[in-house]
Amino acid sequence: MKTVSENTCFGGVQGVYTHTSKSCACDMTFGLFLPEEATYGPVPVLWYLSGLTCTHENAMVKAGAQGWAAEQGIALIFPDTSPRGEDVADDEAYDLGKGAGFYVNATQDPWKRHFQMWDYLAEELPALVADNFALDMERQAITGHSMGGHGALTLAMSLPGRFVSVSAFAPIAHPTASDWGRKQFAAYLGADDSTWTPHDSTLLMRDRGFDGPVLIDQGADDQFFDLLKPESLAGAMAARRQDGTFRMQKGYDHSYFFVSTFMEDHVGFHAEALHE
């Protein structure tokens, strides 16, 4: 692992690191914020998964999470959204290929060699950060925006016991029924749509739910509302009697102005579960 940069931030350190990923067969970059408390011992972890077109950097510089995480003594991890490099397959469209890994393990050519984002996030990156930083991996929570909200919800529901809480900002909530999902799953996972269902948070919510609290924020003026299908997830949460809160935020769109507005609430929500 190599250090790209480290900056003092809210009394802690905002770092950027690269490493050679075995899962993705390329070099990967991630951001990690450590609060001051990490100087004295392991701190709880909040993962933040980003959306389409993002790198590790977008949320790190636009979401305004570090100040709230510093107040709560929590580390933040900002992974990238796809494999990177000259030899990594890509597409002209912004919603497929680089910047659009959809947090799945691709099984189809030309994607499968590098697009193994599920394994990267479920196994490889947690092991790497646990070995290199003062993190308490018994206390992890996860959040994300849009495609990253989809990733956060699917990882949380598929790895019971890993995360104490999950939240999402305008998640892609029902990808098997949306053009933000069907196109990418067909490309990465193939035409057999039975392989898609483990990556749909509405279907996972209907089937198993999450053993902990859930918080979802959705902007009512989100320009991608019809692609996100928040009503499907809200319905599935109600049908399952999921411990959770779904908030429709009047006037907000899909941007980081929306994410940063509600970041305090999300960090506070996770802090309550992480410090229990």
Ligand X SMILES: N[C@@H](CCC(=O)N[C@@H](CSC=O)C(=O)NCC(=O)O)C(=O)O
Instruction: List the catalytic residues.
Output: 146, 222, 254
- Is residue 82 close enough to count as binding ligand X by CB under 6 A? no
Cβ distance 164 to 272 under 8 Å? no
Q: How far apart are CA 210 and CA 124, in angstroms?
A: 23
Q: Tell me the window of 71-79, 103-111, 143-151, 158-166 that interacts with ligand X (CB under 6 A).
A: 143-151
- Is residue 184 close enough to count as binding ligand X by CB under 6 A? no
Give the tokens for residue 229.
């299908």
- Is residue 58 close enough to count as binding ligand X by CB under 6 A? yes
Contact with ligand X (CB under 6 A): which of 19, 62, 112, 247? 62
Q: Tell me the window of 108-116, 124-132, 203-211, 253-261 that interacts with ligand X (CB under 6 A).
A: 253-261
- Is residue 94 close enough to count as binding ligand X by CB under 6 A? yes
φ and ψ at residue 46, rounded to 5 degrees: -120, 120
Q: Tell me the window of 45-53, 111-119, 153-161, 182-190 that interacts with ligand X (CB under 6 A).
A: 45-53
Cβ distance 117 to 103 under 8 Å? yes
Residues 6+ apart with CB under 8 A from 231: none
CB of 44 to ligand X, least distance (A): 25
Whichever of 115 and 256 has its CB closer to ligand X, that residue is 256
Q: Which residues make beta-bridge pairs with 19?
A: 28
- Is residue 53 close enough to count as binding ligand X by CB under 6 A? yes
Whichever of 146 and 218 has its CB closer to ligand X, that residue is 146
Place of tokens 């990253």: 148
Nearest alpha carbon to residue 142 among 225, 201, 96: 201
- Is residue 54 close enough to count as binding ligand X by CB under 6 A? yes
Give the tokens for residue 11.
């009394």
- Is residue 176 close enough to count as binding ligand X by CB under 6 A? no
CB of 81 to ligand X, least distance (A): 8
Contact with ligand X (CB under 6 A): which of 16, 24, 49, 52? 52
Residue spans of beta strands (DSSP E) within the chain? 2-9, 12-21, 26-34, 43-49, 75-79, 135-144, 166-169, 214-219, 244-249
- Which residue type does 127 have? A
CB of 153 to ligand X, least distance (A): 13
CB of 178 to ligand X, least distance (A): 11
- Is residue 146 close enough to count as binding ligand X by CB under 6 A? yes
Q: What is the DSSP letter of 124?
A: I
The sign of the torsion formed by the CA atoms of 21, 68, 58, 211 equals positive
Strand 43-49, strand 26-34: pairing: unpaired
CB of 243 to ligand X, least distance (A): 26
Q: What is the DSSP letter of 233?
A: H
Q: Tell me the window of 50-58, 83-91, 189-197, 214-222 that interacts with ligand X (CB under 6 A).
A: 50-58
Contact with ligand X (CB under 6 A): which of 12, 15, 51, 209? 51
Q: What is the DSSP letter of 178?
A: S
Site residues for ligand X per CB under 6 A: 51-54, 58, 62, 94, 145-147, 254-256
